[in-house]
Chain A
Amino acid sequence: MAKYIIKRIVMAIITIFAVASVTFFVMNMVPGGPFMSEKAISPQAQAALNEKYGLDKSLSEQYITYMKDLLHGDLGLSVKQRGRTVNMIIETKFPVSARIGGMAILTAMIIGVPLGSIAAFKRGTTIDNIIIIFSTCGIAVPSFVVCTVLMYVLSLKLGLLPTYGLTSWRNYIMPVMALSLYPSSYIARLMRSSMLDVMGQDYMRTARAKGLSQLVSIFKHALRNAVLPVVTYLGPLLAYTVTGSFIVEKIFTIPGLGSEFIGSITGRDYPLIMGTTIFLATLMVIMNVLVDVAYKFIDPRINLK
């Protein structure tokens, strides 16, 4: 196990290095720059700015400097948000997104797993059909539509919830609902199909032949086997969701990391692009390791090498 973890850490470092390098060069290949769009900027000012952020140097020099800083955990200075480091931006914005994203995933699990299991258990009935329709819609409807509909109904028509900001717990309800709809639908579908598969397994017949009730055999014998695909999906999903959703954050005016992601690209904020991308990649790698370890605990047949 220890050997496995060390191996995974080495692989993670290589992965993150590759992500950083590719992002760096691709980002610089795209035409334009951080100070192109601003009007009436004198050539002298432009040169001064370039010098300040090290953009006057050759690309390879910039790359080496960046990688050196990265090794020290320094993600550099934001070009667009004057005076703020990328580390600072991530430190302040990430907790906001992580809180909403985490709640959304928790909600998705609480809704998706039982819903999928019930659908499998009641396959072919009206309940199953309703769950299938719900989950198909949940996957198909884009999040801006969900956000808008939620806002229209819950805030505008019923006046129940605030539409923006993050001042009380009531502010969290709509963003969490909007964010959890897709994953809960997806988990329900995954769970349904894997549950159906598990329910057809011979050991389920053995459980019934022992005299266990349907409920006990499902809870004890099926769930643990059926949840594996959901765990696989959960790792990357968690990484994506806690780093924030651009659309949901924009619509509900939430100061999260998701908006920084998109904002950094449109504004050509090179260090911020690099910082957020590396941050997401790191989270993704960590999640994948956690998923593998979780696998080992759920299914004893899995051997971590």
Chain B
Amino acid sequence: MSEYLVNIENERLSFFTPAGEVKALNDVSLQLREGEVLGIVGESGSGKSVTAYSLMGLTAYPGRLIGGSLQFNGHQIDQMTEKEMRKIRGNEISIIFQDPMTSLNPVYTVGDQICEVVMLHTDKNKSGANERAKELLSLVGINEPEKRLKQYPHELSGGMRQRVMIAIALACEPKLLIADEPTTALDVTIQAQILELMMELKEKLGMAIIMITHDLGVVANMCDRIAVMYAGKVVEYGDANDIFYNPSHEYTKGLIRSIPKLTEKEHSKLIPIEGSPVDMLNPPAGCPFAPRCGSCMKICLREMPPYTDVTDIHYSACWLLQKQEFEKQQAQKGDA
């Protein structure tokens, strides 16, 4: 078994729409060790969720994996059949979604929906599953679990429903929990509670987490590693310090500039990233961020930049870094 729990290499995935092929993921590579938290940040349509869903074999129609290798916990995900994938889903990999209001089936009780996954992946019978469901509800901090089990989703608040979703996800003690913007639909105080709960459960159960979000504040606090995605590509990868204090990609820099700061004066304006996201039907030949980039060079429009290592675990896809690297080497030669 490899040293990684998750190892995605050069994943390419496209959606074949009537208007043409939408290249949602272009050579995405990501690694994650057991018990680590990986944050994937990026704007809507950058491929964050698509990457995570493909890891569960849940790519939505008309999407199709067209290249690359996806390994998880010794499984070669990209070569597994639907039947084999079903054994992993909800068992070894679980997911919680953005909107807890709509992610639970309105016509079944909370208990039914938790028991379902327990009974699917374990030998427990109905009463055993019920016991486990009670345990899980206590684990996610819901009081009176006995009563809650018999309630329907609409009788619970948003935060409570997200806790139920987490209970469902953790029912079989997965190795990996994917959290797809788990707090976007919740209000701020509940957001903090849910994130805290997730971190607490991570410590308790020792699972790895992939946290998909566009909230940089969330990743800063939680994640061991951060991948910044833009237009179906990981443009920068590093730990929280690298990304926040030493961003090397122009897009990451722009993202960080656009975070509101407490220290700023009352009427100072936020600095947005100018321009609009790329048209994924007709992606540019060069760096996808080039048209919006303040430091765009000629080569940026023509050719895709390769990855440049900033440190051992921090790399970034930007021509500027290649240029700096080249100049450094020239200078060294000159000295010699």
Contacts and interface: CB of A to CB of B under 8 A. Distances in A.
Interface of A: 201-203, 205-213, 220-221, 224-225, 298-301
Contact of B102 (A201, A208, A212, A301): A201
Contacts of A210: 89-90, 116-117, 120, 168
A212 B103 contact: no
Contacts of B243: none
Contacts of B104: 203, 206
Contacts of A300: 106-107, 152, 154
B94 interface: yes
Contacts of A220: 116
B95 interface: yes
Given A211-B88, A299-B106, 18 more contacts: A201-B102, A202-B103, A203-B104, A203-B106, A206-B165, A209-B89, A210-B120, A211-B90, A211-B121, A212-B90, A212-B116, A213-B86, A298-B107, A299-B107, A300-B106, A300-B107, A301-B106, A301-B152
Given A202-B97, A205-B58, A206-B97, A211 B86 contact: yes
Interface string B103-120: 111111000000011001
6 contacts: A203-B104, A210-B89, A211-B88, A211-B120, A299-B107, A300-B152
Give the interface SS of chain A, mostly helix, strand, loop or mixed: helix
A5 B216 CA distance: 54
A211 B117 contact: yes
Contact of B168 (A206, A208, A225, A298): A206
A212 B120 contact: yes
Contacts of B242: none
Interface string B146-157: 000000101000
Nearest to A301: B154
Contacts, number: 65
A192 to B, nearest CB: 16
A212 B106 contact: no
B116 A208 contact: no
Contacts of B30: none
Contact of A208 (B58, B106, B108): B58
Contact of A224 (B88, B103, B107, B168): B107
B119 to A, nearest CB: 10
A298 B99 CA distance: 23
A236 B105 CA distance: 28
Interface in B277-323: none
A210 B56 CA distance: 10
A203 B97 CA distance: 10
Interface in B122-139: none
Q: List the 5 shortest-distance A-B pairs measured between CB atoms, nearest first.
A: A211-B90, A211-B89, A210-B90, A202-B102, A203-B105
Nearest to B93: A209
A298 B105 CA distance: 12
Nearest to A198: B105
A201, A208, A209 interface centre (most CB from chain B within 10 Å): A209
B91 interface: yes
Nearest to B98: A202
A249 to B, nearest CB: 39
A224 B109 CA distance: 13
Contacts of A201: 102
Contact of B105 (A209, A211, A225): A225
